[in-house]
Amino acid sequence: MIPNSELIGRDHVDDLDAILAVTNTAVDEVQHAVSSDADAVFTWNYERSRPALVKLYEKAKTSMWNANDLPWDIDVDQEKVAAENQNQNGFNRQGDFMGTPFAKWGDKEWIQFGVESQNWTLSQFLHGEQGALICTAQIVETVPWIDAKYYAATQVMDEARHVEVFSRYLNTKLSGHYPINAHLEMLLDDIVADRRWDMTYLGMQIMVEGLALAAFGFLHQMTTEPLLKKLLRYVMSDEARHVAFGVLSLQEYYAQLDAGEIRERQEFAFEAAVRMRDRFLQQETWERMGVDVKEAIKVMQQAPDRPVFQGLLFSKIVPNCKKLGLLDAGDGWLRDRFTELGVIQFEDWLDTGEEYAQLDEVAKDRALTEPPRGHR
């Protein structure tokens, strides 16, 4: 069994000093190269032999949307949005901050934190979406089935659109970018560098996109800003299809793998889960606010709703891993690791195999705005 020190670089998943020791040392970097020796695979078998992927491909073609159709004319008062978000969450009113980095904070500092937090969050979404863009283009090259190549090509367009809308929102509605978080960058590097096509699926489609879908849902529910709410709802409708694509493809492939190969996938899923959890400590925000990062994180982790929030981020990942057979394969190694992370309670939640149909916002909008066929 590979120890945690080799998988995640530390013995204990909650070692805060080790987590904070991982930092982005190239914040001024404009381009970032990752080497990959994955084979580009042609297939001369054009038979449409996977009905579930065919259905997903047809759904993707009819669910495309244009970023320009979002209501970009809406003015965004970021400080007002931050204040409204804090009125909902109320962490700044939940406890006694004497002796903490927040002891002298008033409304001004809490509002500024809300602004910086939103800048940071949307920046990491942006970087993650570019990672998905690159990974999906790689999947088109490496996956051996024609039905999967067809669908992955539609996802490349989806991811380009996601990069476009998050970049546009950050540039025109918010007040600053953040560089990529080091934990997220390490995970994306590992996914891109792995030459095995199914690892790209597992890392991006199941883990990164699964967590993003949950995070988008949380933010969509919380925000009062109508443009961001609409943007997130459209992105979520795409992301649900993307995760379903990963589940449908990997179910078939994992049935052919031996125990050793499955254990490698379990270990990769655990490593990805830890890195994604670590990035949500948003240490860069605390640095920009000029407070002691470690002390600030300790205080925030004591918030009553923090365990709930951290857990809900994995509400899509755990049931999908279970559906893929990764949770209990072998001796249940991944079940034990997810128990250690405190997220195993989501194992029986809805997986994303069919959830994409429920989240198809484009279809809902068209049903409301377009006349029925035959009555145009």
So where are the chain's domains?
A: 181-368
Q: How far apart are alpha carbons 356 and 365 in whole angstroms? A: 15
- Cβ partners under 8 Å of residue 324, min gap 6: 206, 247, 250, 251, 254
Range from 53-57, 122-126, 242-246, 301-305 carrying the lowest mean pLDDT = 301-305
pLDDT tens figures, 170-225: 999 999 899 999 999 999 999 999 999 999 999 999 999 999 999 999 899 889 89
CB 159 within 8 A of CB 235: no
Contact 134/192 with Cβ under 8 angstroms? yes
Question: For position 371, what pLDDT does the model report?
Answer: 53
- Percentage with pLDDT > 70 across the chain: 90
Most distant CA atoms of the chain, gap in Å: 69
43 touches 149 (CB < 8 A): yes
Q: Which of the 8 DSSP states describes residue 180?
A: P
Q: List Cβ neighbours of 178 (8 Å cut-off, separation of 6 or more).
A: 119, 120, 123, 124, 284, 285
Residue 375 pLDDT exceeds 50: no
> What long-range pairs does 6-12 form, CB within 8 A, spacing at least 24?
7/267, 7/270, 7/271, 7/274, 8/270, 8/271, 8/274, 8/275
Q: pLDDT at position 374, please?
A: 47
Alpha helices in the chain (DSSP H): 4-7, 16-20, 51-62, 78-89, 107-142, 146-172, 182-193, 197-200, 209-222, 226-254, 259-279, 283-289, 293-301, 306-312, 317-323, 333-341, 355-358, 361-369
226: number of Cβ within 10 Å: 11
Is a pLDDT exceeding 80 seen at residue 98? yes
- From the list 295, 343, 291, the residue with the least C-alpha distance to 321 is 343
Query: Token pair for residue 326?
Result: 């990764």
pLDDT band at 291; cut points 50, 70, 90: very high
Of 200, 197, 271, 229, nearest in space to 7 by CA? 271
Residue 33: is its pLDDT beyond 80? yes
Burial of 235 (0-12, 13-18, 19+ CB in 10 A): buried
Over residues 126-151, mean pLDDT:
96
Q: How many CA atoms lie within 13 A of 308 on its CB side?
A: 5
Mean pLDDT confidence for 296-323: 84
Q: Residues with Cβ < 8 Å from 30, sequence gap 6 or more?
A: none
Give the mean model confidence (pLDDT) for residues 35-42: 92
Cβ neighbour number for residue 256 with a 10 Å cutoff? 7
User: What does the pLDDT read at residue 85?
Assistant: 82
Confidence band of 368 (pLDDT split at 50, 70, 90) = low
**316-355 confidence digits (pLDDT tens):** 899 999 999 999 998 999 999 999 998 999 999 877 655 6
CA atoms within 13 A on the CB side of 211: 27
Dihedral sign (CA 79, 81, 85, 88): positive
